[in-house]
């Protein structure tokens, strides 16, 4: 095996120290093949080049190695952390890799002044001034970087779980959810007050200190102190009753009843665990699923499935790791998930796991996160019930994935057969689809979505702002987007042909170009491809059928072939419709985002010094939008309330 590798590489292997570290293998194109850790770099790395792995996939990978990099560290724990940081950033082909681009959602509670310890809520003074938003904390859904001045609860496994928690805050503690701008402009209570989902702080129906007490109780409930909150509410209720303050006692009685009902539904009154993650793994058919369920504040918040890639290749690679214990593929997948996931996500003190986890890994994570966590395998009682639930969900999610992938592969094969696409490997079939969208002929955008590996490739989607055309001219928009998309690619292909060299990996045409439209759009695409010298057989138009009914679409070809109707039940047509609908969805969301930006004033007004939310709102209301403000003179702008002559001239200069 070593005879196929450069001598310089073999000398590097022989010179490696017997120290802990991390190694990376690269192929001839500079792509990372594998990232591994070792207690002894010399012993571990040498094992790859001294053994004959034959024609296995391990042997195939090892034969590609032309270069390596190593990093010496102080301990196995450091090696574990560095290995998984590199796996996350380098995306090596032969490692188990979890890709999750979505951040976790949180429940956000805005900061309010603290409750004075020497003043009870009942003693709060009645103020004649208008209520201020800063005095009344707001609960809301949040995703993104946290700010220290606010409080965040979570993370939650899904947006649904956060919204359920917000609804609970409304039902039990009647906390507000409205934006500060809405709060500041209310003159009478909204519908949420009428249905007892808000205490009406915007119109003075509750004093700041009373509201702050509700906020404090809500926070304690979210931290898992539900029983303490219940006892505190009951004590306050009895105190008001003793003072014959029956209205206040009745309000607290209703709050106690609502909280009691929630506790009964959530079944948290007998749970001692506060924050726990439950992790179950299922491997089948070369695919894997890790189901992560979250318990926060003693409440089960739901679960979230994760599907790693490269499971088969990585599990084979692990068999040559000399220090690997005789662990199952399930255990390898679970440890890979834990190592990668908790590098960026807060880790609770207890992990309930379906497979045993190494102590070295937990020690490394403790050093990384500062949280000393324990991994509980084969749990009992309530933890056993949680794990059983997570294992069932992992099996169901994996079965769904395998079913969907089988269905998608069948659709890909059906489309290739229907269009006579000569493909050696259907996994490589690449389809790009274009759609045009605009608002009443203005703000025209084109979308391009990509289908490959039997699924939509979201990371390769592109939007194009279309300029310099007559409003509503979809044909001109299609000409522009296709020219912009393929002109550089066509030039690269011509240069490669002229020089006699093979085109680079990025210089590859799709196997099919779908355009959402009939003969007109196909003719326009044909003109572009003829100008660029590209193959016309790639272009296929999706023409809507009679009455624009779904399932009656016909395919129109640029190379002169007759129209094709695949049939309403055709798997090929289902795939075409799926890709076409995704292109339309992507175009519509881009258009709506652009329109929303205009409605809120856009970045043009936001970037002008002296223009805050109120002045921006007045300008947009007075002139009907950013375009109206742009068309107004400085004198007209100065006529808006709150805009001085100097500021009006500054706005005019900024917009022109």
- 122 pLDDT higher than 60: no
Stretch among 46-50, 152-156, 228-232 having the lowest mean pLDDT: 228-232
- DSSP code, position 110: -
Stretch among 31-45, 240-254, 533-547, 638-652 having the lowest mean pLDDT: 240-254
- 438 pLDDT higher than 80: no
Stretch among 65-74, 307-316, 639-648 having the lowest mean pLDDT: 307-316
* Nearest C-alpha neighbor of 290 from the set 394, 361, 386, 399: 394
* 522: confidence class by pLDDT, cuts 50, 70, 90: very high
Percent of the chain at pLDDT exceeding 90? 17
Q: Please list the residue range(s) of the chain that carry CATH number 3.40.1440.10.
A: 2-76
- 507 pLDDT higher than 90: no
So what's the pLDDT on residue 608? 79
Of the two residues 407 and 334, the one the predictor is more confident about is 334
* 278: confidence class by pLDDT, cuts 50, 70, 90: very high
Percent of the chain at pLDDT exceeding 70? 84
- 118 pLDDT higher than 60: no
254: Cβ contacts below 8 Å, ≥ 6 apart: 196
Distance CA 196, CA 635 (A): 48
E strand residue ranges, 88-167: 106-109, 139-142, 151-153
So what's the pLDDT on residue 541? 92
Mean pLDDT of 282-297: 87
Contact criterion met (CB below 8 Å) for 66 and 6: yes
Contact criterion met (CB below 8 Å) for 333 and 311: yes
Please state the length of the chain: 656
pLDDT digits (tens, 9 = 90+) for 295-327: 887 778 888 899 888 786 666 665 555 444 446
Q: Quote the tokens at residue 607.
A: 């970037």
* 198: confidence class by pLDDT, cuts 50, 70, 90: very high
Stretch among 374-388, 520-534, 580-594 having the lowest mean pLDDT: 580-594
Most confident of 50-59, 453-462, 493-502: 453-462
CATH of 600-655, picked from 1.10.3720.10, 3.40.50.10860, 3.40.190.290, 1.10.150.20, is 1.10.150.20
What is the DSSP code string of 476-519? HHHHHHHHHHHHHHHHHHHHHHHHTPPPPTT----SEEEEESSH
* Nearest C-alpha neighbor of 220 from the set 347, 115, 118, 304: 115
pLDDT digits (tens, 9 = 90+) for 558-569: 988 888 888 777
So what's the pLDDT on residue 258? 66
pLDDT digits (tens, 9 = 90+) for 359-403: 888 888 888 778 888 999 989 888 898 999 999 999 999 888 888
Q: Quote the tokens at residue 417.
A: 């057969």
Stretch among 164-168, 281-285, 567-571, 589-593 having the lowest mean pLDDT: 589-593
Stretch among 218-227, 409-418, 457-466 having the lowest mean pLDDT: 218-227
* Nearest C-alpha neighbor of 312 from the set 334, 339, 333: 333
So what's the pLDDT on residue 251? 73
Of the two residues 119 and 434, the one the predictor is more confident about is 434
Stretch among 255-264, 282-291, 442-451, 581-590 having the lowest mean pLDDT: 255-264
So what's the pLDDT on residue 612? 79
Mean pLDDT of 101-123: 65
So what's the pLDDT on residue 124? 46
Of the two residues 227 and 80, the one the predictor is more confident about is 80
So what's the pLDDT on residue 325? 46
Distance CA 81, CA 368 (A): 8
Residue with tokens 């000393």: 372
- 572 pLDDT higher than 80: yes
Q: Quote the tokens at residue 543.
A: 């023409």
Mean pLDDT of 428-447: 83
Distance CA 29, CA 66 (A): 9
CB atoms within 10 A of CB 150: 15
- 51 pLDDT higher than 50: yes
Q: State the first-to-last Cα distance of the chain, in angstroms, to the nearest integer.
A: 69
Mean pLDDT of 526-552: 84
- DSSP code, position 78: H
Give the H or E element holding residue 442. strand 442-452
Task: Label the pairing between strands 374-377 and 350-353.
Answer: parallel
Distance CA 167, CA 256 (A): 16
> What is the rounded average pLDDT for all residues in the chain?
81
Distance CA 34, CA 25 (A): 5
- 78 pLDDT higher than 50: yes
Q: Which fold would CATH assign to domain 431-590?
A: Nucleotidyltransferase; domain 5 (3.30.420)
* 529: confidence class by pLDDT, cuts 50, 70, 90: very high
- 652 pLDDT higher than 60: yes
Q: Please list the residue range(s) of the chain that carry CATH number 3.30.420.340.
A: 431-590
- 354 pLDDT higher than 80: yes
* 129: confidence class by pLDDT, cuts 50, 70, 90: low
Contact criterion met (CB below 8 Å) for 519 and 556: yes
Stretch among 62-66, 201-205, 313-317 having the lowest mean pLDDT: 313-317
Q: What is the domain class of 2-76 according to CATH? A: alpha beta
- 536 pLDDT higher than 60: yes
Of the two residues 170 and 443, the one the predictor is more confident about is 170
Q: In DSSP terms, which residues pair with 353 in a beta bridge?
A: 279, 377
Tell which CATH architecture fits domain 276-399. Answer: 2-Layer Sandwich (3.30)
* 126: confidence class by pLDDT, cuts 50, 70, 90: very low
Sign, CA torsion 224/227/233/235: negative
* 485: confidence class by pLDDT, cuts 50, 70, 90: very high
**pTM above the 0.75 mark?**
no
Give the H or E element holding residue 555. strand 554-557
Of the two residues 155 and 424, the one the predictor is more confident about is 155
Q: Please list the residue range(s) of the chain that carry CATH number 1.10.150.20.
A: 600-655
Sign, CA torsion 292/297/302/304: negative
Provide the CB-side half-sphere exposure for 99 (13 A, CA). Answer: 11
Distance CA 388, CA 204 (A): 49
* 492: confidence class by pLDDT, cuts 50, 70, 90: confident
Of the two residues 198 and 608, the one the predictor is more confident about is 198
């Amino acid at each position: 095996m070593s005879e196929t590798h450069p001598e310089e590489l073999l000398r590097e292997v022989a010179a490696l120290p017997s120290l802990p570290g991390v190694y990376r293998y690269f192929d001839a194109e500079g792509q990372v093949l594998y990232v591994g850790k070792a207690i002894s770099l010399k012993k571990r790395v040498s094992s790859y080049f001294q053994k004959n792995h034959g024609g296995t996939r391990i042997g195939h990978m090892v034969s590609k190695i032309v270069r390596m990099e190593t990093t010496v560290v102080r301990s196995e724990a450091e090696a574990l952390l560095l290995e998984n940081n590199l796996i996350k950033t380098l995306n090596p082909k032969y490692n188990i890799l979890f890709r999750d681009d979505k951040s976790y959602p949180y429940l956000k509670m805005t900061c309010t002044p603290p409750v004075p310890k020497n003043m009870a809520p009942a003693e709060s003074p009645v103020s004649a001034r208008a209520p201020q938003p800063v005095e009344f904390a707001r609960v809301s859904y949040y995703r993104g970087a946290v700010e220290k001045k606010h409080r965040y609860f979570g993370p939650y496994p899904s947006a649904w779980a956060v919204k359920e928690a917000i609804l609970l805050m409304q039902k039990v503690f009647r906390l507000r959810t409205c934006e500060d701008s809405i709060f500041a402009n209310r003159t009478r209570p909204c519908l949420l007050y009428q249905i007892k989902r808000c205490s009406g702080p915007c119109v003075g129906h509750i004093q700041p200190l009373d509201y702050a007490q509700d906020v404090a109780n809500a926070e304690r409930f979210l931290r898992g102190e539900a029983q303490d909150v219940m006892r505190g509410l009951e004590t306050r209720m009895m105190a008001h009753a003793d003072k014959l303050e029956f209205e206040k006692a009745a309000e607290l009685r209703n709050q106690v009843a609502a909280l009691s009902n929630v506790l009964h539904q959530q079944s948290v009154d007998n749970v001692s665990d506060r924050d726990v993650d439950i992790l179950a793994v299922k491997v089948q058919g070369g695919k894997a699923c890790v189901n992560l369920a979250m318990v926060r504040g003693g409440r089960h918040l739901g679960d979230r499935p994760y599907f790693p890639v490269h499971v088969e290749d990585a599990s084979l690679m692990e068999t040559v790791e000399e220090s690997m214990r005789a662990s199952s593929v399930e255990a390898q997948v679970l440890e890979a998930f834990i190592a990668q996931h908790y590098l960026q996500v807060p880790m609770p003190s207890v992990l309930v796991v379906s497979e045993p986890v190494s102590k070295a890994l937990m020690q490394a994570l403790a050093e990384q996160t500062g949280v000393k966590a324990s991994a509980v395998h084969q749990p009992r009682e309530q933890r056993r019930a949680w794990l059983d639930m997570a294992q069932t969900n992992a099996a169901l999610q994996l079965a769904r994935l395998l079913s969907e992938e089988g269905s998608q592969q069948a659709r890909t094969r059906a489309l290739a057969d229907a269009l006579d696409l000569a493909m050696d490997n259907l996994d490589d079939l690449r389809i790009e689809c274009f759609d045009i969208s605009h608002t009443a002929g203005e703000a025209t955008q084109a979308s391009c979505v990509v289908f490959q590996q039997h699924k939509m490739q979201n990371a390769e989607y592109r939007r194009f702002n279309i300029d310099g055309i007559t409003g509503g001219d979809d044909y001109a928009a299609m000409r522009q987007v296709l020219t912009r998309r393929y002109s550089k690619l066509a030039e690269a292909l011509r240069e490669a042909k002229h020089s006699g060299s093979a085109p680079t990996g990025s210089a590859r045409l799709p196997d099919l170009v779908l355009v959402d439209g009939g003969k007109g759009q196909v003719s326009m695409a044909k003109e572009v491809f003829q100008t660029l010298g590209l193959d016309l057989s790639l272009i296929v138009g999706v023409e809507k059928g009679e009455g624009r009914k779904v399932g009656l679409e016909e395919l129109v070809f640029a190379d002169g072939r007759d129209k094709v109707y695949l049939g309403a039940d055709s798997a090929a047509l289902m795939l075409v419709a799926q890709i076409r609908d995704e292109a339309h969805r992507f175009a519509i969301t881009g258009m709506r985002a652009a329109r929303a930006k205009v409605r809120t004033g856009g970045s043009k007004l936001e970037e002008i010094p002296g223009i805050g939310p109120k002045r921006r709102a007045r300008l947009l209301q007075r002139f009907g939008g950013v375009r109206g403000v742009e068309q107004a003179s400085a004198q007209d702008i100065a006529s808006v309330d709150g805009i001085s002559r100097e500021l009006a001239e500054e706005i005019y200069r900024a917009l022109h």
